[in-house]
Structure 1
Amino acid sequence: MTTIFSSSGDTGQYFFYFMIYSFLGWVLEGTYNLYSNGSFRKEGFLKGPFKPMYGFAPLLLLIARDLTLPFPMFLLLALVIPSAVEYVSGWLLKTVFQKQWWDYSGMSYQLQGHICLRFSLYWWALSIACVYGIQPFMERLYSQVHNVWELIFPLVGLYLMADLLWTCWSRYRSEKTPQYQD
């Protein structure tokens, strides 16, 4: 099995995985929203088609996998890591932007509306599927496209940075703009 961390420290490879998983997270949430609310598009933090917490969690799980921990310990981390990423993301977004993008407060076994047991178990199953089912495909895909990716990943990085800056600026500006009511 190929490990995510090589001695050369291929930042482009890690960024490839981050962007692909962030995009797949956007697709997953859109599909879930389509199923549950009848509309694919749901407001996310970023303006573009990426959900960064879906990029961070798999990278942290790949680090855990490559530590060659006992399998039961990895299974525990596959539950804890995505839940921790979701909690920190929710807390940070609410703290910085005074807005909660998701709210589990009506569900059992929840923590401040940011995480709940039901979705943590969903993320746990998805994490196992990601690391052992999807990631081997991602590694093969990267080996096929890495020459092209090396050329375009700085542009993709600039796009992500521009999206982040535009999102922060526009959200900050909308908070400062007076809201008039007729």
Structure 2
Amino acid sequence: MFAYNLWQWIAFFIIYCLIGWIGESLYVSWEHRKWVNRGFLHGPFLPIYGFGAVIILISTIPVRNNYFLIFLFGMLGATLLEYFTGWAMEQIFHVKYWDYTYDFCNLHGYICLGCSLTWGVCALLLTGLVHTPIEKLVLSLPAVPLMVIDIIFAVYFIWDMITSAQEAFDLKKIILENEEVQRLQKRLDVIHAFAEDDKTKFQDYLKEKGLEFNKSKEELTEEFQNRLQAARDRVDHRSQKMRKHATRILSRNPGSVSFKHKAEFESIKERINELRKTK
């Protein structure tokens, strides 16, 4: 065991991505009472399970005869992977595609005690039970067919990662553009709220916001109305394809949240759900 070449490692990654997708899709579908193609990607693969399985196998090589250390090392390795992946995705896309914020003993919502313990149990099951038949299957495959399978998967995987990342970026753009509209509308409302004779208070407000306070209320009103209309035009003219992208990635991740843009993100999810009901 563990004397694998690169192509065999890739095959294990593929298989555990598929197994993870099957398990999580069934669980989330049961939870939401409808079929959910779970995950960041379009295809039937969840990379975090593939990477998690590979990390567990590698990290437990030195301790493969000690069940406690298999549990401990597997739990730590997979938990670190889950934390880093969740953190990186939120920084890039401004969305948490899984969230443990309300689970017991969580860290920044990326990991929690329950899931970490589950990773440890999975490490025991993986090394002691699950991996044995999978190992026999992969090792029984001739080198050339195995290489061809891995290359085909790698090409598809890269394509799926690129298209899925584009969907996530499109969702991020829609969130930011809608927030820009809301921000400009609020500023315009504040400008209208100031009385014409309250110039001192009005100028203090403009100075605080870093705006030019030598302009009149009318000039600023016109400026913000133009900016607001331009922002609304950008949102309205956003391509239908981009909106479909946002819908697709949210449908695969119904439990996703955004704490950076909470109000607008929830508003987008509600609008998408309303559109689905009308179809």
**TM-score tier (shorter):** 0.7 to 0.9
Q: Aligned residue pairs: how many?
A: 177
For residues 15-48 of structure 1, what are the alpha-carbon distances to aligned partners after superposition, in whole Å with 9 as ceiling and x for unaligned? 0000110111111111211232223315421122
Between stretches 30-39 and 84-93, larger displacement belongs to 30-39
Q: Distance in 2 between matches of 1:162 and 1:95?
A: 22
Segments of 5+ residues of structure 1 without an aligned counterpart are: none
CA RMSD, 1 decimal = 2.2
Q: Does 1:88 align with 2:87?
A: no
For residues 110-155 of structure 1, what are the alpha-carbon distances to aligned partners after superposition, in whole Å with 9 as ceiling and x for unaligned? 1111111112222221221112111111111102334422222111
Aligned partners of 1:58 and 1:131 also within 8 Å: no
Between stretches 106-115 and 68-77, larger displacement belongs to 68-77
Between stretches 60-69 and 95-104, larger displacement belongs to 60-69
Q: What residue is the counterpart of 2:123 in the other structure?
A: 127
Q: Does 1:67 align with 2:68?
A: no
SS of alignment partner, residue 42 of structure 2: coil
Q: What residue is the counterpart of 1:79 in the other structure?
A: 75
Change (3 A) 1:28 1:43: closer
Q: Does 1:161 align with 2:158?
A: yes
Q: Distance in 2 between matches of 1:150 and 1:89?
A: 28
User: What percent of counterpart residues are identical?
Assistant: 24
Q: Write out aligned runs for 1:21-32 (5 A).
A: 21-32=16-27
Aligned partners of 1:79 and 1:123 also within 8 Å: yes
Q: Distance in 2 between matches of 1:69 and 1:140?
A: 18
Change (3 A) 1:173 1:139: same
The structure with the larger Rg is: 2
Aligned partners of 2:41 and 2:160 also within 8 Å: yes
| Greater helix share, structure number | 2
Aligned partners of 1:26 and 1:51 also within 8 Å: yes
Q: Write out aligned runs for 1:1-182 (5 A).
A: 2-3=1-2, 5-6=3-4, 10-68=5-63, 71=66, 72-147=68-143, 148-177=145-174, 179-180=235-236
Aligned partners of 1:12 and 1:149 also within 8 Å: yes
Aligned partners of 2:29 and 2:35 also within 8 Å: yes
Aligned partners of 1:22 and 1:55 also within 8 Å: yes
